Every structure is written in C-alpha cells, then in structure tokens.
Amino acid sequence: MVTRFPLLVWEHGTQSGEENDTVYRAVKAAIADGYRHIDTAMMYGNETEVGRGIRDGLKESGLKRSDIFVTTKLATIHARPSHVPKAFEDSLAKMDIEYIDLYMMHWPVAMNPATGQLVPLKPDGSRDIDEELDGKFELTWGAMEKLLDTGKVKNIGVANFAIPNLERLLKTAKVIPAVNQVELHRKYSVHALKACANLIYRYYSLLATKQVG
C-alpha cells in the first residue's frame, strides 16, 4: 500500500500533441533535477516518450528503477472490464519499464471504445459515452483489482471521484483505492473528501479547469 509519495512530482497532463522530443527531454531533465514521481496517462498520448525519458534519465543519473515512483492511468475508452488487462499491458509496453507503481482509473466515466480516439466526441462536440457501461465503474474497478495479481503494478487508485461515487465504489471494492486524485480549489471540500475514506489524496487544477465526477 502507498504510504507516501515523493515530494517532487512531474506530471504532464495534456492532450495537445506536443512534439515527442519535448516530452522526452522534460522527463529526463526532471529526474536529473530531483523529481522522483513521474505521472502520466494513456489519455495524454505520451507514455512512450515518458517511458524513454524515465529510462534514459535513470541511466544518466545513476539511479535504479526503485528510486522513482511512476503513475499512469486507464483511459475512459478502456473502461469495459474485458479491456482493462490489455490497456494496462499496452501502457506498460509503451513505457518499457519493469512495473508501474500506481495505476489509476482516470475518470468514473466510460466512453465509446469503437471510435479509435483517446477522447471520443460526437459531431456536436459532446462526449461519446459508452451507454452500455457508463456509470458502472465498480465493474472496471473489479478488473483493475485483478491486475495486482500480475505483480506488474504495485498499487491501484482512482482519479476525479467525487464523494458519492467514491462511497459507491467502497461498498463493493475488495481493494480500497490507494489514492484519489482530484482537483483542489474552493468548489470541493478537502475535509469532506478526506473523511470519506482512509486513503491518500493527490491534488491538481488549482484554477478549477474540470469537473470532478
């Protein structure tokens, strides 16, 4: 179970399609500068570059894999339980590292996996939801729990879970999420979130750019 995180965290939460070499150099420089937690996601589309930066950053800094903490996240298009194992293996293969320290469900949302897009949208710009599975994140979590048996992931967690969804998940979860990564700003009560479960919280988006699910 996660008991603490490295103090310095490098997170590149974007879907802007930045040049591959920019991401690679940024990760490598972050490790050289003392960052010990690297956070990415399938939805960011940069796991390959992040992994390359990790490998070369460790080599050039004389560090071991165990010296850093690596997080990546399950994309909403892979929320179907049958998709979870392959999605995880794909992320691990792209990053080309021995294991993942923390694998998170990125959102409590299921999106249409048939479009081939990381963030599927309808012609009107609205989200293309997987109507069959949306709202059934407990099933996704059950598939994630089984990943722990592979030995390729140390911890599993969730992101963007508001209190009602987190309470729902905890009623059926066999493994309590190690982490809930949420926004931190005036709209959301940190104290209420922390009271909901005995788990670690990580925060992002101080300017409230998104909606917690």
What confidence tens digit (pLDDT) does each residue in 5-35 have? 544 445 555 444 456 788 999 999 999 999 9
Q: Residue 105: pLDDT above 50? A: yes
Residues recognised as catalytic: 44
Whole-prediction pTM: 0.84
Percent of the chain with pLDDT over 90: 62
* Per-residue confidence (pLDDT) for residue 114, from 0 to 100: 86
Instruction: Please tell me whether residue 147 adopts helix, strand or coil conformation.
Output: helix
Residue 170's domain is classified under what CATH number? 3.20.20.100
| Domain ranges, residue 25 | 7-204
Q: Provide the number of structural domains found in the chain.
A: 1
Tell me, yes or no, whether 118 lies in a domain.
Answer: yes
181 belongs to a structural domain: yes
Tell whether 1 is covered by a domain: no
Confidence tier at 212 by pLDDT (50, 70, 90): very low
CB 105 within 8 A of CB 155: no
Distance CA 47, CA 205 (A): 21
pLDDT of residue 205: 54
Q: What is the pLDDT of residues 122-163, one digit of tens each?
A: 999 898 999 889 889 999 999 999 999 999 999 999 999 888
Question: Residue 209 falls within a domain, yes or no?
Answer: no
Asked, for residue 44, whether it belongs to a domain, the answer is: yes
Go through the chain and tell me how many residues it has: 213
Residue-averaged pLDDT of the chain: 85
Q: Which residues of 76-106 are buried (b: 16+ CB within 10 A; e: fewer)?
A: bbbbbbebbeebbeebbebbebeebbbbbbb
Asked if residue 197 is part of any domain, the answer here is: yes
207 has a pLDDT exceeding 80: no
* Per-residue confidence (pLDDT) for residue 7, from 0 to 100: 45
Whether residue 211 lies inside any domain: the answer is: no
On whether residue 210 sits in a domain, the answer given is no
Q: What is the pLDDT of residue 201?
A: 59
